[in-house]
Amino acid sequence: MEKLIISNWTLYKSLYNIRKTIGAKSTLEMLNTLRTIPEQTIPVTLRFTPRGKEVFMLIVEGLNIKNISKRLGIGVSGVKRHREIMLLQNGCTNMLELIAKYYGMMQGGEGG
């Protein structure tokens, strides 16, 4: 299993940005809000390749790289490559930032 290593500061800052974007006061409220948002298409202002969009939606569902690889029938390195391309195309430094931007746009926020 691949380990993701991020600093506590990065984690807390990213969670804060997600909470701020969706208007949640706590992490629990944020999680409940994210569960109730109906699935919608990705806004046009975010850029994804067709396969990148599939990878992104599976990341949002909570799948890890290995499970995404199995689900889509591509290698782990392919999933990592799609993830990096998504971040570069959308000017994000990590997936939490991209997810926050996505949900902010779904809620009518400016998203970036």
pLDDT (mean) for 43-68: 88
Domain boundaries, the chain: 8-45+96-112, 47-89
Is 31 in a helix, a strand, or coil?
helix
> Hey, what CATH class is 47-89 in?
mainly alpha
Closest CA relative to residue 78, chosen from 68, 88, 93, 87: 68
The pTM is what?
0.57
Tokens of 111: 């998203």
Residue type, 96: L
pLDDT (mean) for 52-69: 93
So what's the pLDDT on residue 9?
75
Question: CB under 8 Å, gap of 24 or more: what pairs does 35-41 form?
Answer: 37/103, 37/106, 37/107, 40/106
